[in-house]
């Protein structure tokens, strides 16, 4: 007997078509949000790591020397893709793993050029740090070095603009602070940026990992046929996310993320926990990291926060301190209620995980500091 198929209709199974004209307008709207004056906006089908690999391989195809600043696993991956494309890669890492790269170390390395380009990640969700992007861009620009920036997580949570002082190539992920889908990424490329890219030796004439193909098949055409046919749901979702950012204002969204980060930092300090990054200007608007007290098992804290309080906390990558835990306040979580709940869940999980059973944290002081900071930043809104 053949099972009866459920004939109920779902818009997820039959989405409305997304026209080429609408696709073109979406790119222009993203460019306008970012203050673009001379960058092409390419929508790259796939999770943001696809766009990063596409950029790295074709940047490597130019065969020059690239200074690659690696402050997390993603920076190291970018360097591997650069080398696979044909670049000569010099990797610059901070002296303290998981911390922001000091500007002086970058300028010293830039002075040991010539360099075809410098590449770096802006905001690191893995460790809750933010690299000094504006200062690095200025240092590179003064030395005539083009810039490539992974802002997958940071756009919407940190100031990033594409004017004359912006990077030559910028890769954006929609699913973080912009609150969009994970199946589409954005690459913004200036004329200088396009000049950095070349098809790697032996590469096929067409590749799904190619910005140059997107340029040939979309940006340099009459734009009547969408290339690579992205998933329609993702296009509608990205358009809705862009509309939300337009309504709020990109600057206001950045301010909201920074206000939440400031409040979480205050709350963690009030609890008596040590912050992973001491200075606020070096900490990310995406996530805030702190170190667990000595003798408290991190895996136990994570399990208790999830199972007892319904909150998923994060950890750093392998090179970061094994005591590190993170509170994410990205996108829809950049608001009072989810951030306060995560802070309380972390405190409760630490109390339950404490071997002595006696209180280790001052929950009242932590929540009071969190709330006071939030009110000071926002007047209590949101």
d(CA 215, CA 227): 10
pLDDT tens readout for residues 332-374: 999 999 999 999 999 999 999 986 655 578 889 999 999 999 9
pTM for the whole structure? 0.91
CA-angle at 118, arms to 26 and 176, nearest 5°: 40
Q: pLDDT at residue 206 above 80?
A: no
Residue 98: pLDDT band (50, 70, 90) is confident
Domain ranges in the chain are: 20-248, 250-378
Q: Where are the beta strands (DSSP E) in 198-323?
A: 274-275, 287-291
User: Residue 304: is its pLDDT beyond 50?
Assistant: yes
Evaluate if residue 150 carries a pLDDT over 80.
yes
Share of the chain above pLDDT 90, in %: 74
What is the per-residue pLDDT for 354? Answer: 85
pLDDT at 97 over 90: no
pLDDT of residue 13: 76
CATH number of 250-378: 3.90.1150.10
pLDDT of residue 126: 83
Residue 382's pLDDT band, with cuts at 50, 70 and 90, is low
Amino acid 1: pLDDT:
47
Local structure of residue 15 (DSSP, 8 states): P
Q: Residue 6's pLDDT is what?
A: 58
Instruction: Say if CB 68 and CB 82 are below 8 A apart.
Output: yes
The two three-digit tokens of residue 202, written as one number = 């032996």
Average pLDDT in the chain: 91
Residue bearing tokens 């002595």: 356
Query: What integer is the mean pLDDT of 171-196?
Result: 93
Residue 202 or residue 352, greater confidence: 352
For the chain, what percent of residues have pLDDT higher than 70? 95
For 20-248, CATH number out of 2.30.30.360, 3.30.1330.80, 3.40.50.11900, 3.40.640.10 equals 3.40.640.10
Q: What is the pLDDT of residue 358?
A: 56
Mean pLDDT of 6-26: 83
Region 26-33 average pLDDT:
95
State the pLDDT at residue 173: 92
pLDDT at 376 (0 to 100): 93
Mean pLDDT (whole number) for 174-197: 93
Note the pLDDT of residue 374. Answer: 95
DSSP H or E stretch at residue 307: helix 298-309
Which tokens go with 109?
A: 């390395």
Whole-number CA gyration radius for the chain: 22
- Rounded to an integer, the average pLDDT of 279-302 is 93
Quick: pLDDT tens for 222-279: 999 998 877 899 999 999 999 999 999 999 999 999 999 999 999 999 999 999 998 9
Q: Cα separation of 62 and 89, whole Å?
A: 12
pLDDT higher than 60, residue 302: yes
Question: Quick check: do 20-248 and 250-378 share a fold?
Answer: no
Q: Which pLDDT score is estimated for 318?
A: 59
> Residue range 202-228: average pLDDT?
88
Higher pLDDT, residue 320 or 117:
117
Partnered with residue 169 across adjacent β-strands are 148, 189
Sequence-ordered alpha helix ranges (H) in the chain: 20-33, 48-60, 73-85, 103-110, 133-142, 191-196, 211-214, 232-248, 250-271, 298-309, 336-353, 363-378
């Amino acid at each position: 007997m053949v099972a009866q198929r459920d004939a109920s209709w779902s818009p997820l199974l039959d989405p409305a078509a997304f026209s080429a004209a609408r696709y073109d307008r979406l790119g222009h709207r993203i460019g306008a949000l970012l203050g673009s004056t001379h960058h092409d906006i390419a929508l790259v089908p796939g999770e943001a790591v696809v766009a990063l690999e596409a950029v790295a391989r074709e940047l490597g195809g130019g065969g020059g020397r690239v200074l690659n600043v690696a402050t997390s696993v993603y920076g190291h991956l970018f360097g591997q893709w650069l080398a696979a494309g044909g670049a000569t890669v010099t990797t610059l890492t901070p002296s303290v793993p998981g911390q922001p790269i000091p500007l002086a170390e970058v300028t010293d390395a830039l002075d040991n050029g010539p360099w075809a380009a410098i590449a770096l990640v802006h905001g690191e969700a893995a460790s809750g740090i933010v690299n000094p992007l504006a200062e690095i861009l200025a240092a590179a620009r003064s030395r005539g070095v083009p810039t490539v920036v992974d802002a997958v997580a940071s756009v919407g949570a940190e100031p990033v603009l594409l004017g004359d002082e912006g990077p030559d190539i910028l890769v954006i992920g929609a699913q973080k602070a912009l609150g969009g889908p994970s199946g589409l990424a954005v690459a913004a490329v200036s004329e200088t940026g396009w000049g950095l890219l070349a098809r790697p030796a032996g590469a096929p004439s067409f590749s799904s990992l190619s910005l140059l193909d997107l340029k040939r098949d979309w940006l340099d055409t009459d734009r009547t046929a969408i290339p690579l046919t992205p998933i329609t749901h993702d296009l509608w979702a990205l358009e809705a996310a862009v509309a939300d950012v337009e309504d709020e204002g990109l600057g206001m969204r950045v301010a909201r993320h920074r206000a939440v980060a400031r409040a979480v930092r205050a709350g963690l300090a009030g609890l008596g926990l040590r912050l992973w990054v001491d200075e606020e200007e070096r900490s990310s608007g995406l996530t805030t990291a702190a170190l667990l007290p000595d003798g408290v098992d991190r895996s136990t804290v994570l399990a208790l926060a999830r199972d007892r309080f319904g909150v998923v906390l994060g950890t750093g990558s392998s090179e970061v301190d094994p005591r590190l835990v993170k509170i994410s306040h990205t996108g829809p979580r950049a608001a009072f209620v989810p951030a306060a709940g995560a802070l309380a869940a972390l405190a409760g999980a630490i109390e339950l995980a404490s071997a002595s059973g006696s209180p280790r944290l001052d929950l009242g002081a932590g929540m009071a500091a969190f709330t006071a900071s939030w009110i000071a930043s926002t007047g209590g809104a949101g």
